[in-house]
Amino acid sequence: MILRGKFTRRRKALLALVLLMLAYLAYAWFAGLAITKGVEQKDMDWNADGTVTRDEILQAFYAVGVSETKEGNRECRTFLWRKSGEQIRVDCRTVFQAE
């Protein structure tokens, strides 16, 4: 027999918080935000001043989108401001795969 406690106000609030976070992560993935694309913290220097600030890290959660393209062995990631569509930078790399 499984004993269940009351579904208290605190548990309801925690459940609502977890569901809200999951909903935001689903939206971020769908919108292509930088935080869901595996961008490392050292690569979040959006203003190219050489240092990554707390504000730049937070911008990865809401303001910076990533567009990924692949042409043959070349994979490119274009970082852009979501509001204006202005391009921040493009990171490309060549990937060799064993056949």
Interval 41-83: pLDDT, tens? 888 888 888 899 999 999 999 999 999 999 988 999 999 999 9
Q: Given this model, what pLDDT does residue 72 score?
A: 87
Q: Is the pLDDT of residue 99 over 60?
A: yes
Task: Taking residues 20-32, report their average pLDDT.
Answer: 95
Report if residue 2 sits inside a domain.
Answer: no
Report if residue 4 sits inside a domain.
Answer: no
Report if residue 3 sits inside a domain.
Answer: no
Report if residue 1 sits inside a domain.
Answer: no
Report if residue 13 sits inside a domain.
Answer: yes
Report if residue 79 sits inside a domain.
Answer: yes
Give me the domain span that covers residue 42: 9-94
Mean pLDDT of the chain, nearest integer: 90
Count of structural domains, the chain: 1
**Contacts from 63-72 at CB under 8 Å and sequence distance 24+?**
64/33, 64/34, 64/88, 65/31, 65/32, 65/33, 65/34, 66/32, 66/33, 66/34, 66/37, 66/39, 67/32, 68/37
